[in-house]
Amino acid sequence: MNTNTSTITTAAAATAPETVAETASEAAIAIESEHAAHNYHPLPVVVASGEGAWVTDVEGRRYLDCLAAYSAVNFGHGNARLVEAAREQLGRITLTSRAFHNDRLGPFVTELAALCGKQMVLPMNTGAEAVESGIKVARAWGYRVKGVAADAANIVVMAGNFHGRTTTIVSFSDDPDARTDFGPFTPGFRTVPYGDAAALETAIDENTVAVLLEPIQGEAGIVVPPPGYLPAVRGICTDRNVLMIADEIQSGLGRVGATFACDLVGVVPDLYLLGKALGGGIVPVSAVVGDRDVLGVLQPGEHGSTFGGNPLAAAVGLEVVRMLATGEPQQRARELGAHLHERLLALLGRGVVAVRGAGLWAGIDIDPALASGREVCEALMRRGVLAKDTHGSTIRLAPPIVVEQADLDWAVEQLEAVLGEFAVRE
């Protein structure tokens, strides 16, 4: 446990300065608001540094990071192994483009493929790029292997999905914030209810090339599917000669107490979509991982990225893979996650109406009569805990896997105190 924990509540809850002078945080936020596009609505905290599960703002206040950049910082801020891997590579070479080979890419894709139990890796940069790449691969596979007629391929997706915000991806989103005023939309997608295997099977026809889903829906509020759902999806895809594509960008690489959320139910998809934690919180790294009979459909010139597979990204990603190969991060997330969920479940009926999740990943539904998710996150911020709301009354907790158990307990105590404050207000 961080020895300064006892002082954090006081520091984070300190009242605003009595003078009207602009604080360092206010000044930084004003500059950003003036010149950065307003495509986010962040909490009013300005982070300047971080170590492990903790971050410090520009005024020296410290906070427990319970978001971990949506799983991108699974291994903690400033992880020594990952920083050293990056530093060593920075002194050698950072970018060549795929016009040439580099000496880091081969080891990275070899060991990542082995971690996934697959044969091939398509390296990209962001999670959305991995999803877009998976869609292209599935369509090419459908035309070149399955024999679907030209331009007739369709992909079945899930209601409540979140796979990114590119034009094609928002074409099959049901989030109005992601869709409104961004049409016309890309055709070729069919949406079915998440968790409904019968609806999925009905939606598949002879032109269906893939089923794309999150094994646990993150942005929707850490929604865990019904028992047996993912195995049923796997069986349907196999029987109907359709690719199963698992978007493990948030759920994968240790977050849920296993390497992948699919591992929790013994399911192996045809393609894994990976990102976020693959870059260790240092550089953007993503990948599509599958076997040669699927990824092998791509030919030179058909897909690419200037930065995809660059030496710096490959060096950091390789160290991430080697950390996960030990199984230690997964075990830690599993054990700490069990403790976290036990503590959160004790809040049911005390301002909390539902708790979902797996490993160190929790979706907490706040009683909407008590407060909104945003209000709870703002109150937590004032107490030194950083979390993120979604869909009105839900908050998400996803601390770095390196977090200490005592710090988790402290965070839950702050949540309990916040809920108590709102209850008194009511």
Active site residues: 162, 247, 276
CA dist., res. 324 & res. 39, Å (int): 33
Going by DSSP bridges, is the β-strand pair 154-158/208-213 parallel, antiparallel, or unpaired? parallel
Which DSSP letter does residue 387 get?
-
Asked if 303 contacts 133 with a C-beta cutoff of 8 angstroms, the reply is yes
Distance CA 36, CA 239 (A): 49
Contact (Cβ atoms closer than 8 angstroms) between residue 415 and residue 408 = no
**Concatenated DSSP letters of 331-379:** HHHHHHHHHHHHHHHTTBTTTEEEEEESSS-EEEEE-TTT--HHHHHHH
Both structure tokens of 3: 């020895």
First to last CA, the chain: 34
Rounded to the nearest angstrom, the gap between the alpha carbon of residue 370 and the centroid of all alpha carbons in its chain is 28
CA distance 276 to 169: 17
Helix/strand/coil for 227:
coil
Distance CA 273, CA 252 (A): 9
Closest CA to 286 of 85, 132, 139, 97: 132
Q: Which residues pair with 12 in a beta bridge?
A: none
